[in-house]
Structure 1
Amino acid sequence: MADDKNGRDKQAQDAERRQQERAIATELERGDEQEPPIETDERTGLEAALEAVSFPATGTTIVATIGEYEVESAEGSYSIEALLPETDTEQFDSPAAVRVQVAAPTVAAAMKRVVEASKTLPQTEFGWTQRKAYEKTFEELNAIDADDDDDGVRSISDWIVDRIHDTERLPTSRAVRREAAALCRSNGYEVRTDEWLGI
């Protein structure tokens, strides 16, 4: 492959795609879900609904096709439309990628808001690494305040969306972690320095 801009872009895209595939495989193999996964019979129903979608598919296509389909979790029922970003740049390679995305509904709903808000920014790419860091922060908040109706996840997603609108750029993943740690500490939760939020 030529060592020019196109060649480097292709290598970066290939590396990002491989990283996404590894992340999906890891998520599917995880046994320590923080948020209860969708029930097995629901997965079967979701898989059946996803048969109407031709993959790879964008978030917009999936929402247009099965957006009203409801998935159940311990917190209640969520429509696919409430969990997947409705954008053409958000692409899912397989039904497994959709299942991973909706397995933790609180985190998925927060990421939907952030991804859709990021699309209002001119010439800004929401990279895979930054996205995974945001998701990890939401997952940690979800685990910390599991009994508090996910107020922490909502507060930080609100903060990110406000920052996007106010500064017209995505906050760094470090800034998001710092804000999440401050929120936890102000609400009486201990955050150690050796933890993800421990900045």
Structure 2
Amino acid sequence: MADDKQGREKQAADEERRQRERALRTELERYDEAEPPIDDAELDEIEAELETVSFPATGAEIVDTVGRRRVAAGQETYAVEELLPEAEVETYESPAVVRSRIQRPTIAMAMKRIVEASETIPNVEYSASQRDAYEKTLRALQAVDTLDEDEGVRAITDWIVERIEEKGKLPGSRDVRREAGKLTRESGYEVRNDEWLGI
């Protein structure tokens, strides 16, 4: 490459792009750390309270038992009912599953909206694999959005809920990933084809 102004600018731009890509890869590898989790002691207490519930249990049963309990994540506090869908379409196999679902509040609130919106679909089949794919996509967006206060998570959640309302069915997980990848690229982040959002 020529050692002139244009060559130096291209080198600087390439280096900046590589740094952003490395940062994104690091965040995606550590996506469980994207937001402060709820304290383990509080999660232990919730699990103990759920010993009176017969599992598998619906979200409505869980919320009825511990919904008003408040938990802290970083500087924020949340009622458990803000984090779990009060719905019949999703069941929890054990207190440990409930714990894992509420551990990351931003993701939990997004999934609550999606699950509650899906209750409007007649005879909805909400598989565990589809739920897991939605959650993995939300976590990948959250890793990208560390500077944007989870704007991408809110945007893709809105998109999913709108599709449910418009089409009367859950969007496929590949469609959700594709839309999330598009949002990520529009935010100025490069997404490679071998990444979760690079579909």
TM-score range, shorter chain: 0.7 to 0.9
Partner Cα separation in structure 2 for residue 161 and residue 31 of structure 1: 23
Aligned residues: 170
Larger mean CA deviation between 103-112 and 50-59 belongs to 50-59
Q: Which amino acid aligns with 2:163?
A: R
Deviations 1:130-156 (A, max 9, x none): 111111100101111123211110110
| TM alignment of 1:56-75, pairs within 5 A | 56-74=56-74
The two structures have a TM-score, normalised by structure 1, of 0.78
Q: Which runs of 5+ in 1 are unaligned?
A: 1-29
Partner Cα separation in structure 1 for residue 124 and residue 140 of structure 2: 26
Corresponding residue for residue 103 of structure 2: 103
Corresponding residue for residue 54 of structure 1: 54
Corresponding residue for residue 194 of structure 2: 194
- The CA deviation at 1:51 is 3.6
Partner Cα separation in structure 2 for residue 74 and residue 64 of structure 1: 25
Corresponding residue for residue 41 of structure 1: 41
Contact kept? 1:38, 1:73, Cα under 8 Å:
yes
- The CA deviation at 1:125 is 0.6
- The CA deviation at 1:31 is 10
Corresponding residue for residue 122 of structure 2: 122
CA RMSD of aligned residues (A): 1.9
Q: Which amino acid aligns with 2:43?
A: R
The two structures have a TM-score, normalised by structure 2, of 0.78
Deviations 1:119-178 (A, max 9, x none): 111122111111111111001011111232111101100000001101111111111111
> How high is the sequence identity, in percent, across the aligned residues?
55
Q: Which amino acid aligns with 1:97?
A: V
- The CA deviation at 1:196 is 0.2
- The CA deviation at 1:101 is 0.4
Partner Cα separation in structure 2 for residue 52 and residue 105 of structure 1: 24
Bigger relative contact order, structure 1 or 2 (CA pairs below 8 A, ≥6 apart): 2
- The DSSP-based 3-state class of the residue aligned with 2:78 is strand
Partner Cα separation in structure 2 for residue 134 and residue 151 of structure 1: 16
Partner Cα separation in structure 1 for residue 192 and residue 151 of structure 2: 20
- The CA deviation at 1:69 is 0.9
Contact kept? 1:46, 1:71, Cα under 8 Å:
no
Cα–Cα, structure 1 residues 188 and 162, in superposed 2: closer, same or farther, change >3 Å? same
Partner Cα separation in structure 1 for residue 31 and residue 88 of structure 2: 31
Corresponding residue for residue 15 of structure 2: none
Cα–Cα, structure 1 residues 31 and 173, in superposed 2: closer, same or farther, change >3 Å? closer
Contact kept? 1:180, 1:197, Cα under 8 Å:
yes
Cα–Cα, structure 1 residues 94 and 122, in superposed 2: closer, same or farther, change >3 Å? same
- The DSSP-based 3-state class of the residue aligned with 1:197 is coil
- The DSSP-based 3-state class of the residue aligned with 1:77 is strand
Corresponding residue for residue 6 of structure 1: none
| Structure 2 residue 148 is the aligned partner of structure 1 residue 141 | no
Corresponding residue for residue 164 of structure 1: 164
- The DSSP-based 3-state class of the residue aligned with 2:120 is coil
Partner Cα separation in structure 2 for residue 182 and residue 70 of structure 1: 36
- The CA deviation at 1:56 is 2.7
Partner Cα separation in structure 1 for residue 128 and residue 62 of structure 2: 20
Partner Cα separation in structure 1 for residue 149 and residue 72 of structure 2: 16
